[in-house]
Structure 1
Amino acid sequence: MKIEKAYSSIDVHVAGEAFRIIRNAPLVHYQTLEELYELFPQVYKEEQNLLLNEPRGFAGLNGCIVVPPLNREADAAVVFFNHYGTVPVHYSGLTAVITALLECGDLKPRDTSRYKIETVTGIVSITAVMKGDEVNSVTMESGFCQVIGKEESLSALTANYTLVQSDQTYAVFRKQDFPLEIQIEELADLRKWGQTVLKNLSPDVKGAILVDESRIAEGHIKSITFRDDLFIVRSPGFGPTLAVFTCLLSSGAISKQESLVNESIYESQLEVQVSERKESSYQFTMTSRGFITGMQTFILDPTDPLAAGFLLK
């Protein structure tokens, strides 16, 4: 074995969604985080493939690169990415990053429990409460979310959906319109549904959400989200949860609802609360917890025929 390059990483999951935080990414020159974001597809293509693709990674893995902040108010800066490119902001990813920084000693705990992380969309304020050496809870506020298209028709399924802008643009569908249950036993049929939907949506839509509202009176919903690359989000997902909550509030399906629990097909849960409303837009408070699952060193052997990895779909 010949070692050409070595990378260390921290793996963290948040409600089942996995993140790989790269600790020693190659240094590049940039003047703004936006410039690094634009350069990323070219300068980090090898790392993206090596560390996210199988056999070292897997289809549901998200990537994070943490760099020193350029804004003096921030404690760290981060760029998120997946198998296909960069992602402007990832709320669950921010939980993963602050958990790793604090529990691994890269960031000193504060009595206030307040920290700021710089992203390409701006600085996000985070409250991370520690008990002993562990981060017990992470709380942050979302940007404002709003419905951008109501009851659009999808002819391929003779069904309506609502377009919502949260962290990305999502199409929200109601389970009552389809003969499906959001259960592991129906995963094959759900995948077919997701593929059909995404093939007929605009490329601007980054995810399709199927939501079960049968327990909405209890402040509880169940959903499954398909990314635009046809993969299933492995948690309820903060972005999808915010999109569904915004949709329900805007349509009047719920009123005066202060909090909502979203459950995934894998039975993990995330909870969000309404923090502010401005006309037809909503801002939410999100609370979650990250769990470190591994600290690893990956190497690149130039003779490895699968150095770029692959993805199973």
Structure 2
Amino acid sequence: MKIQKVYSTTDVHVAGEAFRVIKDVPFIHYQNLEQLNEQLPQVFAEEINLLLNEPRGFAGLNGCLVVPPVSREADAAVVFLNHEGTVPLHYGGIVAVITTLLECGHFQPKASSEYKIETASGVISVIANMERDEVVSVVIESEPCQVVQTKIPLSNPHLYTQFSLVQAGQLFAVFEKSDISTEIRVEEITELKRWGQTVLQDLESKFPIKGAILMDDSHLEVGRIKTITFREDQYIVRSPGFESTMACYTDLLSKGGLDTESPFVNESIFNSSLTVQVAEQTESGYKFTLTSRGFITGMQLFVLDPTDPLPAGFLLK
């Protein structure tokens, strides 16, 4: 085998969602992280395909490229990648990155447990609690989230329901499960996928949403909801979703009667969970603190043979 390219990565899952942390930085000039974020889809395109697509990755894999910080206040910087290109901010990716940097010895643990991660959306403060050299919880404060519009009817003759539009980093359509008989569980995944396909096809030409969320709030009195999120490409998010969790609780808070002093839990269809609590309410909307944990699942060395017939990989959905 002749080796043309070599990349080392650390794989992490956060509440079931998979991240590949990449530390092999492309040698390009950039003055700030926003500039790198813009350049990366072009200059790093081959590497994105190599590291995220099958047969080395899969459709649900997210990339996190760790680079030295530009900001003096930051401990590290990261650019988030997916199969479409770069993403300004991914809260789950921050959990994956801080877990990797601490557990692999790239960071010396701080007594304060507070770290600052630079992203294209700004510097994010993170509390990473450690026990016996292991990160046992990561707490992040979100940007403001707000409801854009409520009680919007879905214009589909076969599905009588309505939804809210919520801005939580990106624009989401939030639906209540009480409008359908299907339960959010793996055994009913076929019906759920059919539901997701129906609503996304109806919404795609009308609203610039990044995902449709089906929310079961029947156990809200004990501080729990259950959700499933369909991305705009109809792929199911493998975790409860940080943005999805914030979108749902922003929608629920806008309806009133919700205790803002207590933490709440969002559970995914795969029974993984995220904990969220209101941090503050501002004119721009609600800010939340989100608590989760990452688990390192592997450390890998990827190589590219120039004779490989599938250098760019492929995607199965």
* TM value normalised by structure 2: 0.96
Where does 1:216-295 land on structure 2 (aligned, <5 Å)? 216-252=220-256, 254-256=258-260, 258-279=262-283, 281-295=285-299
**Displacement of 1:36:** 0.7
Confirm whether residue 183 of structure 1 aligns to residue 185 of structure 2.
Answer: yes
The separation in 2 between residues aligned to 1:203 and 1:66, in whole angstroms, is 33
Q: Deviations over 1:182-220 (max 9, x none)?
A: 011111111111112112224520010000011011110
**Displacement of 1:26:** 1.9
Secondary structure of the residue aligned to 2:208 is coil
Measured on the aligned residues, the alpha-carbon RMSD in Å equals: 1.2
Q: Which runs of 5+ in 2 are unaligned?
A: none
**Displacement of 1:28:** 1.2
**Which residue of structure 2 aligns with residue 196 of structure 1?**
198
Q: Which runs of 5+ in 1 are unaligned?
A: none
The separation in 2 between residues aligned to 1:42 and 1:311, in whole angstroms, is 19
**Displacement of 1:160:** 0.8
The separation in 1 between residues aligned to 2:54 and 2:102, in whole angstroms, is 28
**Which residue of structure 2 aligns with residue 307 of structure 1?**
311
**Which residue of structure 1 aligns with residue 173 of structure 2?**
171
**Displacement of 1:312:** 1.0
**Displacement of 1:255:** 4.3
**Displacement of 1:297:** 0.4
Contact 2:30/2:36 (<8 A) preserved = yes
Contact 1:163/1:169 (<8 A) preserved = yes
Structure 1 pair 255/127, CA: closer, same or farther in 2 (3 Å)? closer
**Displacement of 1:280:** 6.9
Confirm whether residue 211 of structure 1 aligns to residue 215 of structure 2.
Answer: yes
**Which residue of structure 1 aligns with residue 8 of structure 2?**
8
The separation in 2 between residues aligned to 1:203 and 1:155, in whole angstroms, is 12
**Which residue of structure 1 aligns with residue 91 of structure 2?**
91
**Displacement of 1:44:** 1.0
Structure 1 pair 136/191, CA: closer, same or farther in 2 (3 Å)? same
Q: Deviations over 1:242-288 (max 9, x none)?
A: 00000001022634463210000000011101110125711111111
**Which residue of structure 2 aligns with residue 126 of structure 1?**
126
> Higher mean Cα deviation, 168-177 or 273-282?
273-282
Question: What is the identity percentage for the equivalent residue pairs of Structure 1 and Structure 2?
Answer: 61
The separation in 2 between residues aligned to 1:19 and 1:242, in whole angstroms, is 20
Confirm whether residue 27 of structure 1 aligns to residue 27 of structure 2.
Answer: yes
**Which residue of structure 2 aligns with residue 135 of structure 1?**
135
Count of aligned positions: 313
Structure 1 pair 198/130, CA: closer, same or farther in 2 (3 Å)? same
Secondary structure of the residue aligned to 2:194 is helix
Aligned residue identity for 2:145: C
**Which residue of structure 1 aligns with residue 163 of structure 2?**
161
Aligned residue identity for 1:120: A
Secondary structure of the residue aligned to 2:254 is helix
> Higher mean Cα deviation, 302-311 or 238-247?
302-311
> Higher mean Cα deviation, 25-34 or 15-24?
25-34
> Higher mean Cα deviation, 157-166 or 295-304?
157-166
Secondary structure of the residue aligned to 2:59 is coil
Contact 2:9/2:22 (<8 A) preserved = yes
**Displacement of 1:129:** 1.2
Contact 2:144/2:284 (<8 A) preserved = no
The separation in 2 between residues aligned to 1:95 and 1:256, in whole angstroms, is 24
The separation in 2 between residues aligned to 1:241 and 1:230, in whole angstroms, is 18
* TM value normalised by structure 1: 0.97
**Which residue of structure 2 aligns with residue 82 of structure 1?**
82
